[in-house]
Amino acid sequence: MPAPVTSFIGREREKTLALELLQRPEIRLLTLKGPGGIGKTRFAIELCRSGEELFADGVCFVPLAAVMDADLVTAAINHAIGAQTVDSLSDRDLLVRILTNAQVLLVLDNFEQVVEASPLLSDLLGACPALKIVVTSRALLRIAGEHVLPVPPLAVHAPGPADSIDTVLRSPAVQLFSHRAQSVNPAFAISEDNVATVAAICQHMDGLPLAIEIAAAQSLVLPPDALLRR
């Protein structure tokens, strides 16, 4: 699995739900669906880390961001699991041989650009009874057995006159802005003077993690009020 380079913020309810779904025998294909920038990959990595002990043979994370051809998905999975090429077997047959009796969680990231490979997943689930698959995608796979968990934006707290800083900081969106702003400007801190402005920035970003991170990265040169005006 990729080693995360940032902290995981928010989405505890969704993570708990995803782990519960993966423990249900009838759910073997779970699609984490959401638009670009919503944080599907980071959520999937955290799900892997939290659910690794649920699978006797472990978790395999397969990055597909660089794979544009659906015909190459099988080879990408084999590469990720460290499969050794066997001349007498196709990539698909080699993969099935490895996974047939394995209790593994296979996580396929950025699947929307190779969604034509969806029948491969049906084949694998049919041939490998202990296999479970999590897919991150902007689009549904629309194959039998697919269960969908939407990945929502981060919650944004709109501060009221009586709200304390601690109350506003419970908002995952504000927490994310604060963490990312401090990564480029260690002197940055949420205060009485800027807390409402930071919350307003997060609201303008619709709670979209990537947008919030991009905005927070400007904190080295722009204070929150100037950033909000822009």
Q: How far apart are CA 212 and CA 203, in angstroms?
A: 9
Q: What is the mean pLDDT of the chain?
A: 92
User: In this predicted structure, what is the pLDDT of residue 212?
Assistant: 96
Structure confidence by residue, pLDDT tens digits, 155-203? 887 766 666 788 888 899 999 999 999 999 999 999 989 998 999 999 9
| Domain final position from 96, 126, 150 | 150
Ordered DSSP codes for 146-198:
EEEEE-PPPP-----TT--HHHHTTSHHHHHHHHHHHHH-TT----TTTHHHH
Structure confidence by residue, pLDDT tens digits, 65-79? 999 999 999 999 999
Structure confidence by residue, pLDDT tens digits, 91-137? 899 999 999 999 999 999 999 999 999 999 999 999 999 999 999 99
Instruction: Answer yes or no: is pLDDT of 88 > 90.
Output: no
User: In this predicted structure, what is the pLDDT of residue 84?
Assistant: 84
Does the residue 199 lie in any domain? Answer: yes
Residues 210, 118 share a domain: no
| Domain final position from 150, 173, 205 | 150
CB contact set of 54 (below 8 Å; sequence gap of 6+):
19, 22, 23, 105
User: In this predicted structure, what is the pLDDT of residue 159?
Assistant: 67
Residues 199, 97 share a domain: no
Does the residue 86 lie in any domain? Answer: yes
CATH of the domain at 113: 3.40.50.300
Tokens for 129, please give them: 């009874």
Residues 171, 146 share a domain: no
Instruction: Answer yes or no: is pLDDT of 27 > 70.
Output: yes
Residues 123, 39 share a domain: yes
Parent domain of 192: 165-229
| Domain final position from 150, 175, 206 | 150
Does the residue 5 lie in any domain? Answer: no
Q: Of how many residues is the chain composed?
A: 230
Q: How many domains does the chain have?
A: 2
Residues 138, 202 share a domain: no
